[in-house]
Amino acid sequence: MKPSRASIWVEVVLALSLITIITIVLNAGVFWLILKRGEEERRTDLAVALIDGMAAQLEVAARSSEGVGGLRPAEVLEAYTDSSIAFDELFIITANNRPVCVAAGSAPEVLDAGLRVALFGRKSDARVQGSVWGNRSVQVTAPVTVRGVSSAALRATLPLAAPSVYGSPSGFTLAHTTSTGVLIAVFGFSLFRRRLIRPIAAVREGTRRIADGEFGHQVEVDAAREFQALCDALNTMSTDLEQFRGRAAEQVEDLRQANIELQETQSALVRSERLAGVGRLAAGLAHEVGNPLSAVLGYLEFLEQSPGDPDLQSDLLGRSRLELERIHRIIRALLDDARKDSSGVEVLQAAEVAREAIELVRHVPRMRGVAFRLEMAEGDLETDVRIERDKLHQVLINLLLNAGDASAQQQARSAVLEIRSLEDQVSIRCIDNGPGFSEQAFERATEPFFTTKEPGKGTGLGLAISARVIEAAGGTLGLSNAPEGGACVDLLLPRVSAS
């Protein structure tokens, strides 16, 4: 699950508030420093003017043997300390570092830079001391000259008061930050709500409607160029989706109609194929039954014309009986093939049924001289299949009889049944040493009434019925030619586990 995030309005407000507060605080600090610097310069100028006036008074007092108005240097300095002016330091010192008069503070033990400038450079020196945010003071040193010779220096240090704007620095910063923040919040809220939040909300609502399937919906916003470009892209996508949905609906309708037509065509083809199969079956049945019937009719007509010959009558009746039995076999085979009764299905050993079929075929008169063999891998006993015993027996007999007939022209006639147990199937292969299947036989061998035998020696139903039986049992019947020569018929039936 994704973590919950604040809305864009909250994030924008927080970011802008942080930037605004930092900017306001820095602005207030800079503004305070400017005010403080101006106040310090003004008070420094006042301090320099005051010290210059004191130095002038001291020089006049020094030139008078009895002082100016009876005042001595100490009395001049004390007059200033008794006034409302606060001094951190106020003293007179000579070039050999001897204090002449100390009215406030204490004289240094070593001459500093300001005293050296006043004593030896004969110039006034003003310095501001202290930290930027702490207490600061201005230190002014002026030379006291008697008859053009610098003999002493006057040092006065006055504290610098902070600017009186909004009281203390913290109060000024708080007042400035609060007032500026309120103004920015009021105008910023209105501006961002109109130019950012409302367009984003409109785009979000339009996207939701399009996602809900309202294709073709257009989003209109009065905002910056980037939002206009975003809305144009969204509107183009919505229009394209609407057109695509229309085309998709048309294609679905076309596919539905095509499917209906395909089903109708398929049904027509199935009916045509069934009719064609019935026609081929009827034609083959007419051919196979018509020939014996024509022969029987001819025999009967001949009997009518020769009524007094017992031997001829016996011969013609025997021939007629054979032809009628042939017709009976054909009809019986068709009826057995059409019967769907599966009540005799059972699990049986394919090898056992194969042995029975071989023993039965060996006694057929036309199969004398054919070497029938059953081949199995040693220890390959899992040949259980689920099928009707009589039908599998009949299939194997048909294959063995076809194999024996196919090898009739060979000096050493042979027919082999190979049974193998595969992973989940049982393979039964019948191989003969005849000429093999022709191309036409490959295509039509399983069609009813197709035979390569001479007329009267085959009905053409053996492989057709065998294929139907094997397919009904869930297996397959395949045809091939063995590499060493001869026809090969492969039966694959599902293997039933012994458990």
Whole-angstrom distance, CA of residue 192 vs CA of residue 220: 18
pLDDT tens readout for residues 361-386: 887 777 888 888 888 877 666 788 88
Phi, psi torsion values for 398, nearest 5 degrees: -60, -45
According to the model, what pLDDT value does residue 317 have?
Answer: 80
Q: What separation, in Å, do the N-terminal and C-terminal C-alpha atoms of the chain show?
A: 51
* Residue 168 pLDDT greater than 60, yes or no: no
Whole-angstrom distance, CA of residue 374 vs CA of residue 414: 11
Contact 415, 370 (CB under 8 A): yes
Whole-angstrom distance, CA of residue 112 vs CA of residue 102: 17
Q: If you average pLDDT over residues 171-198, what whole number do you get?
A: 71
> Hey, which residues does 53 pair with through a beta bridge?
none
Which helix (H) or strand (E) is 119 found in, with range? helix 113-120
According to the model, what pLDDT value does residue 17 have?
Answer: 73
According to the model, what pLDDT value does residue 69 have?
Answer: 42
The torsion angle over the Cα atoms of residues 210, 213, 216 and 222, rounded to 10 degrees, is -20
> Would you mind telling me the total number of residues written for the chain in this entry?
499
According to the model, what pLDDT value does residue 147 have?
Answer: 45
Encoded tokens for 343: 């009540």
Say which residue, 70 or 335, is predicted with more confidence: 335
* Residue 344 pLDDT greater than 70, yes or no: no
Q: Tell which residue, 355, 33, 10, 319, has the closest CA to residue 192.
A: 10
Q: What is the mean pLDDT of the chain?
A: 77
Q: Within a 10 A sphere around the Cβ of 3, how many other Cβ atoms?
A: 4
Q: Tell which residue, 55, 52, 50, 48, has the closest CA to residue 146.
A: 55
Q: CA 444 from chain center: how many Å?
A: 52
Q: How confident is the model at residue 270 (pLDDT cuts 50, 70, 90)?
A: confident
Encoded tokens for 208: 């939701």
Q: What does each C-alpha distance from 337 to 120, 177, 190, 334 come to in angstroms?
A: 143, 104, 92, 5
What percent of the chain clears pLDDT 90, i.e. is strictly above it?
A: 2
Whole-angstrom distance, CA of residue 264 vs CA of residue 289: 36
Contact 41, 52 (CB under 8 A): no
Cβ-count burial 277-308 (b if 16+ within 10 Å, e if not) = eeeeeeebbeebeeebeebbeebeeeeeeeee
**DSSP string for 407-457:** TTTSSSEEEEEEEEE-SSEEEEEEEESS----HHHHHHTTSTT---SPTTS
pLDDT tens readout for residues 273-297: 767 666 666 665 665 566 567 667 7
Contact 463, 446 (CB under 8 A): yes
* Superfamily holding 343-494: Histidine kinase-like ATPase, C-terminal domain (3.30.565.10)
Q: Tell which residue, 48, 50, 49, has the closest CA to residue 128.
A: 48
pLDDT tens readout for residues 459-479: 667 778 888 888 888 899 888
According to the model, what pLDDT value does residue 148 have?
Answer: 46
According to the model, what pLDDT value does residue 252 have?
Answer: 92
Q: Letter for the amino acid at 210? A: I
Q: If you average pLDDT over residues 45-72, what whole number do you get?
A: 68
What CATH number has the domain spanning 242-339? 1.10.287.130
Helices within 161-224 (DSSP H only):
169-192, 198-211
Q: Tell which residue, 58, 52, 40, 64, has the closest CA to residue 100.
A: 58
* Residue 260 pLDDT greater than 70, yes or no: yes
Q: Say how many CA atoms lie within 13 Å of 241 toward its Cβ.
A: 17
pLDDT tens readout for residues 116-139: 888 888 888 888 887 766 678 888
User: Is CATH 3.30.450.20 the classification given to domain 8-169?
Assistant: yes
Domain boundaries, the chain: 8-169, 242-339, 343-494
Same topology, domains 242-339 and 343-494? Answer is: no
Radius of gyration from C-alpha coordinates of the chain: 64
* Residue 498 pLDDT greater than 70, yes or no: no
Q: What is the DSSP letter of 307?
A: T
